[in-house]
């Protein structure tokens, strides 16, 4: 099995940053002023190779956080999450093109969960957690 995390994160980063959504790895920086941004969470890989095929099953978590003063509804958040899903599940086969990394993505699915954190210091926080599951074939 080879480590494919960097290649996958780069492909996801490029797709999301093209939407003008700030994206960070692990956690957001201190003193962040963007009212909507994304943060890579955990990445889990599991080798599923067979005798004839070098395969890896991957789960990537991405949190999209939003906040606004006093009131925050999910309209902008849901619109941006939809844009992210469409950017990741784009192309002819609804997968990211990973050929430049010697990889092929197959069977991409996404699950989402909304988390309403409420009011903290006058800011109302709502987040969506996206979990992308995909099979990767090593070319």
Q: Coil, helix or strand for 133?
A: strand
pLDDT at 54 over 90: no
Number of domains in the chain: 1
CATH number of the domain at 77, please: 3.30.2000.30
Query: Does the predicted TM-score (pTM) go above 0.85?
Result: yes
- If we measure between CA atoms, which residue out of 112, 109, 113 comes closest to residue 132? 109
Look up the domain containing 71 and give its range: 5-138
- Tell me how crowded residue 125 is: count the other CB atoms within 10 A of its CB: 15
pLDDT tens digit string along 16-46? 999 999 999 999 999 889 999 999 999 999 9
- If we measure between CA atoms, which residue out of 3, 25, 28, 2 comes closest to residue 13? 25
């Amino acid at each position: 099995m080879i480590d494919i995390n960097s290649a996958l994160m780069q492909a996801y980063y490029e797709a999301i940053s093209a939407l003008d959504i700030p994206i960070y790895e692990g956690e957001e920086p201190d003193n962040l002023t963007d009212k909507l941004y994304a943060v890579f969470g955990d990445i889990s890989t599991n080798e599923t190779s067979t005798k004839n095929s070098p395969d890896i099953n991957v789960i990537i978590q991405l949190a999209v956080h939003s906040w606004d003063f006093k009131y925050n509804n999910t309209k902008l958040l849901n619109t941006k999450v939809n844009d992210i899903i469409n950017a990741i599940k784009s192309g002819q086969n609804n997968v990211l093109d990973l050929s430049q990394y010697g990889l092929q993505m197959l069977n991409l699915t996404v699950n989402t969960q909304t988390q309403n954190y409420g009011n903290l210091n006058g800011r109302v926080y709502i987040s969506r957690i996206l979990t992308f599951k995909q099979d990767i074939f090593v070319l």
